[in-house]
Amino acid sequence: MAKKLWGGRFNKKTDPLVEKFTKSNDCEIAEYDILGSIAHAEILKKCGYLTPVEANKLLVALSQIGAKRFKKDDSCEDVHTQIQNMVQEKVGDLALKLHTARSRNDQVVFATKLYCKTHIKLCEKFIDGLVSAIAKLAQKNKKVIIPGFTHLQHAQPVYLKDYFQVYIEMLERDKKRLEYISDNMTITLGAGALAGTPIPASNYNIAASKYVKELKKAGLKDLNIVTSNSLDAVSDRDFIIEFINALSILAMHLSRLAEDLIIWSTKEFDFVEIDEAFCTGSSLMPQKKNPDALELIRGNAGRLYGNLMSVLTMMKGLPLTYNRDMQLDKEPLFDSFEKVSLELKVLEGLIKTLKFNKSKIEEQLRDESLYATDMVYYLVDKKVPFKEAHAIVGRLVKYSINKGIAIQKMSQGDLKKFSGNFVKKDLINLFDPKISVKSKKSVKRK
């Protein structure tokens, strides 16, 4: 039977259903809680609650626990309790001193923030992986021009590399956003349950012993971890909402990439071929090669939003300071990280093996309507006011569609009916994707 970190005033045992219901699914923060316990042991030593010998015994024990893969003991209320119990197994009653002047309200924030910082770093690494794969794909196909889409309709020819660069822009914004969130996450100890502790603030500036070095590696830049408002320290979950929100925006970006590729890999578009390793088949239809990974990436956006909504709603109208509701921040956090990081890694592989069907793309580039805007600019260069030029070309396009005659096949006489400025031999040159993309000069690529 697992011991609890409380209970003296209780006459009764907790109802078994309540034990199950209130259990925290918090295994992911165990290693950070151990680091927090190490920091706390150092602090207790510094201020005299522990002798150096006692502190050392605890530090060794904690370090040993931390060195092994942590397995959650399901009979424990949470990892804080389990770690405390594990220390006790190793050092006996000395462990009873470790909990001096600390509270799980404070511990959980410390550990969760370290989790966030380290996992933001991981996210950034996975983003880099995908960005690099996209950049290589774009570079490899740097001369490919595709029909650009607005409203999923043919708009104007654009470079494929510029299309993919959009996703790099998104991902770079995501990374920057994550960095900001991590940089502004202040890690502290010493809030106690809510009111602070009797340990003087100066002790929360812990020296970098060999044990504490791990903390720096785990994302703690500054070892001055004193709190400036203990009530805020235990009440705040902004950092979790910010992280999940950033992951939601990231998931939204990936859902757009997924959608583009799903549409481009239809039989009708046939612009790309997704490698078989990233597809699955059908149990009934033997011909099927379905873009399942992309579909799940698209669908997971909903999951991420749900996680965000879950935590935002949970925090709505909570009185100060800590309330148990806040325990429900963890599953959505872990799940959001897991889903998005897997998406990034899957997409990296998928992008690396993506192939373009250039003949199909070129076929679509023959659509004359893609060059309508270029015809407008042609007229504008001949001093036709823009909106008038727009109307002229609009009528020309309509005529072409209604009569089923390509503009390039129209006689000079036909063209003149729309504008005296049209010169057939010049006009014909416009229907060239290369000329079209080169005529756009307003963009200054980074």
Is residue 151 annotated as part of the catalytic site, yes or no?
yes
What's the closest the beta carbon of residue 181 comes to its own copies, in angstroms? 9
Is residue 40 annotated as part of the catalytic site, yes or no?
no
Checking 314-323 for CB contacts under 8 A at 24+ apart, the result is 315/237, 315/241, 318/235, 320/231, 320/235, 321/105, 321/194, 321/231, 321/234, 321/235, 322/105, 322/193, 322/194, 322/234, 322/235
What's the closest the beta carbon of residue 295 comes to its own copies, in angstroms? 4
Complex with its own copies: residue 36 or 291, whichever CB lies closer: 291
Complex with its own copies: residue 17 or 67, whichever CB lies closer: 17
* DSSP for 82-136, written as a single string: HHHHHHHHHHGGGHHHHTTT--HHHHHHHHHHHHHHHHHHHHHHHHHHHHHHHHH
Q: In the beta sheet, which residues pair with residue 145?
A: 159
What's the closest the beta carbon of residue 114 comes to its own copies, in angstroms? 19
The active-site residue, picked from 154, 282, 400, 442, is 282
What's the closest the beta carbon of residue 169 comes to its own copies, in angstroms? 4
What's the closest the beta carbon of residue 217 comes to its own copies, in angstroms? 25
What's the closest the beta carbon of residue 8 comes to its own copies, in angstroms? 2
The active-site residue, picked from 151, 283, 359, 442, is 151
What is the Cα 411 distance to its own chain's centre?
Answer: 55
What does the block give as tokens for 126? 């996975």
Complex with its own copies: residue 147 or 219, whichever CB lies closer: 147
For residue 10, count other CB atoms closer than 10 A to its CB: 9
> Are 303 and 335 spatial neighbours (Cβ–Cβ below 8 Å)?
yes
The residue among 141, 177, 198 whose CA lies nearest residue 361 is 141
Q: Which residue has the tokens 């970190």?
A: 5
Cα 71 to Cα 27, 29, 95, 331, 428: the distances in Å are 8, 12, 20, 17, 71
Complex with its own copies: residue 115 or 164, whichever CB lies closer: 164
Q: Which residue has the tokens 């959001």?
A: 336
For residue 123, count other CB atoms closer than 10 A to its CB: 22
Catalytic residue annotation: 151, 282
